[in-house]
Amino acid sequence: MKLSEEYQQRLARVQAQLGHGAADLLVVAPTHNMRYLLGFTPKYDERFCALLVGRDAVRLVVPHLNAGQVESHTGLQALRWTDESGPDHALIQALDELGVEQSTTLAVDDTMQARHLLLLQEMARPQRTVTGDALLASLRMRKSALEIEALARAAAQADRALLAGVDACRPGVSEREVAEAIVQSFRRDGAEQVDFTIVGSGPNGAFPHHHSGGRTLRVGDTIIIDIGATLDGYKSDITRVVHLGEPDPEVLEIYELVRTANERGRAAVRPGVTASAVDRATREPIDAAGYGDRFFHRTGHGLGIEEHEPPWISATSDTVLEPGMVFSIEPGIYLPGKFGVRVEDIVVVTEEGVRCLTGLGHELIVKQ
C-alpha cells in the first residue's frame, strides 16, 4: 500500500512551491496541515513527530508507539524512535536522507510546539526559519474535486440537521432542547463530531456566538440557528432564522435586508474578484439602510478541514478568488435586547462563478 493519489498530488503541490523557492524544507507537525497532506494525524503530545517535505522526497519521523498506526493509515514508512532512544537520531537520518544542508531555509508548521521547533533548528541548523503558513494556506484554499464533494456532503447533512432544529422549535421548548435535536440528527446521520450548535432565541440572538441555554421559546421569538459538524474530515456551517408566530414589520424589514445582503454577496463571487469586493457587495444593502454598525463581523471565512480557515471574506482581505475556494457568506444584523438575524451559506468558487453548497431556501421560516 502507498499514499493515495489525492495525497500524492497534495505533496507534489507543496514540492512544486518549494521548487519555486518558497523554502528548502517544510516541516509539518501532527496538526490540520498533516491531516491535509497525509489524510491522517496521530496524537500530538510532547513527543517529536513530523512530516518533512523536501523538494524531491518526504520523510516521516514518528514515535515508535504511533508508528504502526501512522504507517497503516498513510502507506508511508516512518523513521521510528523510542522513548529510550529519543528522536535525535531518527531526525538526523531524515535530514541526511533528504540532503538538507546548513544553508537552507526551513519552513515550519505554525502551531508546531516550540520545543520541537528548537530541536529541529538544533539538528538542521538552517540559515533561516520561516512560517509555512502562507505556503500551506495557498494550497489548502484551493480545494480539489474530492474535497468539494466532501464539503457538499457535509453541507447537505447540515441542511438536514437544521430542519430537525426547525422542527423542534415550539413555544415552551428550551434553546438547549432545540440544540439537542440538532445534535441527534447529526449523530443519526453519521457525523464524526458535532462542532457547535448555536440556538439564539429572542434577545439572545443579538449575540452572534450565543451559547444555547435554558431560555424557553415563546410566540413572537426570532430564533437564530447556526450549526456545524464534521463529516469525513470536512466541516459544515449553516445559519437560518425561524420565527414563532406572525413576524412584526421590524423583523420582516431586518430579515429582508440580511437576505438581500446574503444574495448580493453570493452574486459577487466569481474568479478574479477580491474577497474584499465580496465583503463590500454583501455589506452594501445593510449600510444603505442605516444598519451598517449592527453588522459588526466579517462577511465570511473559509471552510475545509477547519471550521475557520483562509480565505477571510473581510474588508481588508486582498485574496483574489480562484476556482475551488470554499467559504461562508454570513451577513447579520443584531439589535441588542431585541433579536438578531443572520443568513449563512457555504459557497464554492467555480470556473463560471459560484456554486452554493447549502441547499436550503433563504426565506424566513415562520412557524405558527
Q: How far apart are CA 191 and CA 112, in angstroms?
A: 28
> Which residues, at least 6 apart from 298, have a Cβ–Cβ distance to it below 8 Å?
279, 312, 313, 314, 315
> How many residues make contact with Zn ion (CB under 5 A)?
5
Name the one residue in this structure whose C-alpha cell is 432545540. Answer: 178
Name the one residue in this structure whose C-alpha cell is 447537505. Answer: 156
Least separation, in Å, of the C-beta of 184 and Zn ion? 19
Least separation, in Å, of the C-beta of 152 and Zn ion? 16
Q: Which is nearer to Zn ion, 24 or 345 (CB)?
A: 345
What the block records as the C-alpha cell of 209 is 456566538
CB 262 within 8 Å of CB 238? no
CB 348 within 8 Å of CB 328? no
Least separation, in Å, of the C-beta of 128 and Zn ion? 36
C-alpha closest to that of 27 among 71, 58, 72, 1: 58
Binding segment toward Zn ion, per CB under 5 A, in 12-20, 62-70, 267-275, 321-329: 321-329
Least separation, in Å, of the C-beta of 190 and Zn ion? 21
Least separation, in Å, of the C-beta of 19 and Zn ion? 35
**DSSP 3-state of 140:** helix
Q: Which of 66, 222, 328, 358 binds Zn ion (CB under 5 A)?
A: 328
Q: Which is nearer to Zn ion, 148 or 238 (CB)?
A: 238
Q: Which of 237, 263, 279, 345 binds Zn ion (CB under 5 A)?
A: 237
Binding segment toward Zn ion, per CB under 5 A, in 128-136, 176-184, 206-214, 341-349: 341-349
> Which residues, at least 6 apart from 122, have a Cβ–Cβ distance to it below 8 Å?
none
Q: Exposed, middle or buried by CB within 10 Å (0-12, 13-18, 19+), for 205? A: buried
> Which residues, at least 6 apart from 259, have a Cβ–Cβ distance to it below 8 Å?
343, 362, 363, 364
Least separation, in Å, of the C-beta of 327 and Zn ion? 9
Q: Which is nearer to Zn ion, 37 or 343 (CB)?
A: 343
CB 51 within 8 Å of CB 58? yes
Q: How far apart are CA 29 and CA 50, in angstroms?
A: 5
Binding segment toward Zn ion, per CB under 5 A, in 107-115, 135-143, 220-228, 285-293: 220-228
Binding segment toward Zn ion, per CB under 5 A, in 100-108, 179-187, 239-247, 258-266: 239-247
Q: Does 175 bind Zn ion (CB under 5 A)?
A: no
Binding segment toward Zn ion, per CB under 5 A, in 29-37, 51-59, 82-90, 238-246: 238-246
C-alpha closest to that of 305 among 228, 229, 233: 233
Q: Which is nearer to Zn ion, 237 or 309 (CB)?
A: 237
Q: Which of 226, 279, 306, 345 binds Zn ion (CB under 5 A)?
A: 226
Q: Which is nearer to Zn ion, 38 or 194 (CB)?
A: 194
Residues that bind Zn ion (CB under 5 A): 226, 237, 239, 328, 344
